Structure 1
């Protein structure tokens, strides 16, 4: 649908400059997701972390035909582009979204709660039969920006909508409710998310409840209903309560496709929503069997031959296809891009999809016409080399393209790690909140980005405009440069022999010893070696003694092949309050030496604070800080909002067996059953990073959120756990790290630290990269 720039400017009372005839088909708030094939309106938003006006040039160079911003100065530079000028650009988007909402003829079902919103929305859509005339929120676009973006995408073909709505602080929901004007509602759960911004859970519940002020019907659990009554909140005339003994009783569903309480709770909310939207219970029960966990949504993982696989095989409609193509265009780690796509259900939609795909000029595209064609497709791909290629696999559920995608994966292993890049971004923002506006930030990506994967994390951080990356060894830096990472990189632990390669690659190096410098100066150099001078302020690991710095600086002034671009040190005990006297002494030493360096090299960047230092010694931010373990969500830090662990580690049950009294299990006969019991064998062992110190019940995993102790010894590739009290079968998912057990807790059980747990997750464990 073409949107006229003049029309939405008039709607919001904005001023239109430049092209008066411009139109576009979609909005974008991230210039990297703009593609010249799609007429796009770029919204230059200003947040506490970034100013979108900085990326207007980039947006236009990528093909934006319209820009919504608050500054008129850009219009003179680009007369052929339409500029909609408004002091609050997001208000223009809201005005358009409100008009689209007003024209929708049918119901709007709004979903809110602390957890499960996206799952409930997607499952509800499946229970409706995935109709094209029902619009729904893309992914988890439920924020202050996501809600108006969702409404802005409504079209004349849509008869009703499912809108996901989230808040993270008081005062937000009233604005959402006014914009969405829902007629039906679902409340999922009340949980811990964003609790730091609310006085208590009751206040959070009351804020979320404001969404339902215009609803005539509501779906919720008995627990949530009772809380609403207790808080004397207005309740719609019709409520559909689910729970044991209620009108919607999970026990009345004859067969669930899953067993976990959390999944059943989400499914019951979706069932209630489907009933409100007119689906019969007969159709609902038939479609329930098709519901799948959302793991099949937009995952980037390694493929065979060193390529990449971008997998989204849960569903496929024109809107989600467009988002997948944008993700492929903006985030693929390779230059070559392929796509394997299913037909869309009818000829008209498939033709529209083919036109959309054609506009992205992919290198190769396969269209799967019938599910029966998948085996032939699989056979044809067996002989293809996927090196330096990213393959998008996206299709409707009936095609079961996840089975085809599994054949493209790099060495299948039923143990895997999920890396939530969106959680990493949020962690980064939480630390940035406590930094001075001009303080730079170096993100540490050494040791495989603390187990998360160096290249993929580096690409993500570069896209977030982080100032620096920090690595431990030359090979890490050279590999990143070879694969397109162009941002500044500091290399620690540099061998003198590697300095020429690093200088040629444009990286910066740690200069900690006289022998490094002597080697560099021993021959005439064409390159300039950019160094960060390492000061030994008391940790006594590496670095120049403070008293040696003055003479060193006098000498370096005479050499054109060496440039001091930074000065830094390491704190030995920033996390230990009992050692604060020593830490303060280190900071004093560094401050004096840093001043010496800056006197002769004023542009040198000074940095000394690590993750713990950032929150405990914020007065010593200097020019830059180094964020390590905190970026990946491990630990808690006073003054920093609660973090999200970036890595989840999972596997699947290989086998379930029984031990009789007196039976042994595992090497060394280390465990002897004192009674009849049931145990599960898991495909994960110490070669994968599951410490042998977790043997003999010291460690545990979780199945269906229930704790299962490790029996006997952890083996190289396997371990056994007690599942006596559980209903478990082969193929069930197991959580090693996740919502039930974080890296700090697992480390405590193994007698180590979270750093070792995360960096120890083995290289044979495939990483899946997610954006929620």
Structure 2
């Protein structure tokens, strides 16, 4: 029996009968829609029947044989599973008229997303990207989780090569957008720092082409330069609907015809061990987040909150109350030790910021446990060597390095302890307990250095 291909509209009718979407048979919920995806080492089509048996209402597949052999006729055949997922998400997105904030950047994306969500939740029913669902699969899943109860969405967009943000924008269709910063992240995929700038800038390109609203950190010279470049390259009357600068600046100074001053005026007064700032009403606000880099993330959240009508008092309370629990800027007490766990990700820019901040933090004894920075390609040796030089200048009491590329940092660190793998690192930490020590733990996601915490 020949099985016909379903259109996006037909799939959407099936989706409306379901309770959610899953691409993982380990996370099947009753009456959900399972989408079979294929990768280099797996084929989700092989697990479609398992998903149906586990409670899925339908399974989207792109293998005709799997659909033909399905005795329940609940396998929905499409030309390509991933494309079907993305088209379904785009179609669902178009059924909503509430604001969708697209957010990207090299560092601070998730913390900024969480801060913005916390602030906006004071006035709105907000849905924000969960966990790390920020790529070509995660963004569609995020959008498909939206429903009529939501009043505003925040969609985090990650990328490791050019044209990816462009794709994600075409699916999420943001009405507002923000780039946190441009740094040395995913250099291998982007082809260098200029590639990062171009790839992340695709969010600005989309917002300009569609005449949407953008938030720009006026203290960030790279972001301001990217904005000016786009103004100079305008070949039609299409431009941003609005540009909200934070902190506020005079629109005339940036050659902007559609600019607004935005964001509450706040001043950093102390950043150790956590950020303390003074708000517009001269109140001192103490947060749970360390470092000047988190101050920039707070500025973004307060600017977005101000634009969407959240009162300054509610916004600052939200920022002050936010306490991360996701391996990002997370403070943990272990006996007499204080651990700053920032092990969700790492690149040369974020690693340098974290080390410089930690070096300036007053403490009786300081130790760093640092893991490899991934996806640097041909730049990896040079960047790890430069990291070693920075660590050497910081005069930490104890330096522990882990991962195959961290050995490049040893040239500047003759007294550092080096472990090629986490097993030997765990054993050393258990055999050499620390006391009364401030400890920074940071590395790329693949290193999973949060595994060290139980052994401290």
Shift of 1:85: 0.7
Given candidates 421, 430, 433, the residue that maps to 1:763 is: 430
Question: Could you tell me which residue of structure 2 aligns to residue 220 of structure 1?
Answer: 216
CA distance in structure 2 between the aligned counterparts of 1:107 and 1:184, rounded to whole angstroms: 7
Q: Which moved more, 1:230-239 or 1:168-177?
A: 230-239
For the residues of structure 2 that align with 1:135 and 1:115, how far apart are their CA atoms? 21
1:249-307 C-alpha deviation (Å, 9 max, x unpaired): 5426343524511111111111122122221223222322212234478xxxxxxxxxx
Aligned residue for 2:133, secondary structure, equals coil
CA RMSD after TM alignment: 4.8
- The residue correspondences of 1:196-215 to structure 2 (distance < 5 A) are 196-211=188-203, 212-213=207-208, 214-215=210-211
**Unmatched runs of 5 consecutive residues or more in structure 2:** 251-260, 268-277, 371-386, 435-448
State the match for 1:272 in structure 2. 303
Q: How does 1:650-665 map to 2 (within 5 A)?
A: none
Query: What is the SS of the residue equivalent to 2:364?
Result: strand
Q: How does 1:620-635 map to 2 (within 5 A)?
A: none
Runs of at least 5 residues in structure 1 that lack an aligned partner in the other structure: 1-7, 298-313, 315-401, 424-632, 634-641, 657-676, 690-700, 715-734
TM-score by length of 2: 0.66
The residue that corresponds to 1:240 in the other structure is 244
Matched ranges for 1:682-693 at <5 A? 682=365
Report how far residue 174 of structure 1 moved.
Answer: 2.6
Q: Which residue of 1 aligns with 2:395?
A: 709
2:103 counterpart (104, 111, 115): 111
Give runs of aligned pairs for residues 81-96 of structure 1, distance below 5 A. Answer: 82-96=74-88
- In 2, are the aligned partners of 1:67 and 1:81 still within 8 Å (CA)? no
Equivalent in the alignment of 1:100 = 92
Q: Residue 151 in 1 paired to residue 143 in 2?
A: yes
Aligned runs of 1:502-541 on 2, under 5 Å? none
- In the superposition, the TM-score normalised over structure 1's length comes to 0.41
Match of 1:39 in 2: 31
Output the CA distance in 2 between the equivalents of 1:107 and 1:679: 43
Contact 1:70 1:88 in 2 (8 A): yes
Report if aligned partners of 1:29, 1:43 keep a CA contact under 8 Å in 2. yes
How far, CA to CA, are the matches of 1:100 and 1:284 in structure 2?
30
For residue 284 of structure 1, what is the aligned residue in structure 2? 315
Please give the secondary structure, in 1, of the residue aligned with 2:322: coil
Return the alpha-carbon distance in structure 2 between the equivalents of residues 291 and 233 of structure 1: 40
Instruction: Please report how far the alpha carbon of residue 130 of structure 1 lies from its aligned counterpart in structure 2 after TM superposition.
Output: 5.3
Please give the secondary structure, in 1, of the residue aligned with 2:429: coil
Give the match's secondary structure for 2:293: helix
**In the alignment, is the contact (CA less than 8 A) between 1:46 and 1:52 conserved in 2?**
yes
Matched residues in 1 for 2:228 and 2:23: separation? 40
Trace 1:188-587 onto structure 2 (pairs within 5 A).
188-211=180-203, 212-213=207-208, 214-222=210-218, 223=221, 224-230=223-229, 232=232, 236-243=240-247, 248=263, 249-251=265-267, 253=279, 254-257=284-287, 258-295=289-326, 412=335, 414=337
SS at match of 2:414: helix
**What secondary structure does 1:157 align onto?**
coil
1:749 equivalenced with 2:432 (yes/no)? no
Q: 2:257 — aligned with what?
A: none
| CA gap 1:70/1:206 in 2 versus in 1, 3 angstroms | same
Corresponding residue number in structure 2 for 1:342: none
Q: Aligned partners of 1:21 and 1:110: how far apart in 2?
A: 24
Point out which structure has higher relative CO (alpha carbons under 8 A, 6+ apart).
2
Distance 1:149 1:93, change over 3 A: same
Matches within 5 A, 1:732-747: 742=406, 744-745=408-409
- Cα 1:165–1:21 change in 2 (3 A) is closer
1:373-405 per-position Cα deviation (integer Å, ceiling 9, x unaligned): xxxxxxxxxxxxxxxxxxxxxxxxxxxxx99xx
- Conserved in 1, the CA contact under 8 Å of 2:184 and 2:196? no
* 1:679–1:152 distance in 2 versus 1, CA, 3 Å: closer
Give the CA deviation at 1:93: 2.1
Name the SS for the 1:24 alignment partner: coil
Distance verdict in 2 for CA 1:679–1:28, change over 3 Å: closer
Distance (Å, rounded) in 2 between the aligned partners of 1:45 and 1:277: 38
Pair 710,121 (structure 1): closer, same or farther in 2 beyond 3 Å: closer
Query: 1: distance between equivalents of 2:114 and 2:418?
Result: 38
Judged with a 3 Å threshold, the aligned counterparts in structure 2 of structure 1 residues 39 and 682 are, in CA distance, closer, same or farther, namely farther
> What is the rounded CA distance, in whole Å, between the counterparts of 1:233 and 1:268 in structure 2?
28
**How far apart are residue 126 of structure 1 and its match?**
0.8
C-alpha deviations, 1:302-351, integer Å up to 9, x for none? xxxxxxxxxxxx9xxxxxxxxxxxxxxxxxxxxxxxxxxxxxxxxxxxxx
- Offset of residue 124 of structure 1: 0.5
> Are the counterparts in 1 of residues 185 and 196 from structure 2 also a CA contact under 8 Å?
no
> Given that residues 400 and 416 in structure 2 are in contact (C-alpha distance below 8 angstroms), is that contact kept between their aligned partners in structure 1?
no
Structure 1 residues 61 and 108 mapped into 2: Cα distance closer, same or farther (>3 Å)? same
Q: Could you tell me how far 1:228 is from its partner in structure 2?
A: 2.5
Larger radius of gyration: 1
Match of 2:256 in 1: none
1:503-533 Cα offsets, whole Å, 9 max, x none, are xxxxxxxxxxxxxxxxxxxxxxxxxxxxxxx
Check the 8 A contact 1:416/1:768 in 2, yes or no: no
For residues 64 and 8 of structure 2, what CA distance do their matches in structure 1 show?
Answer: 19
Question: How far did 1:419 drift?
Answer: 9.9
CA distance in 2, matches of 1:419, 1:159: 31
What does residue 179 of structure 1 align with?
Answer: 171
Q: In the superposition, relative to structure 1, how do residues 207 and 679 fare at CA in structure 2: closer, same or farther (>3 Å)?
A: closer
Is 2:286–2:320's contact at 8 Å kept on the other side of the alignment? Answer: yes
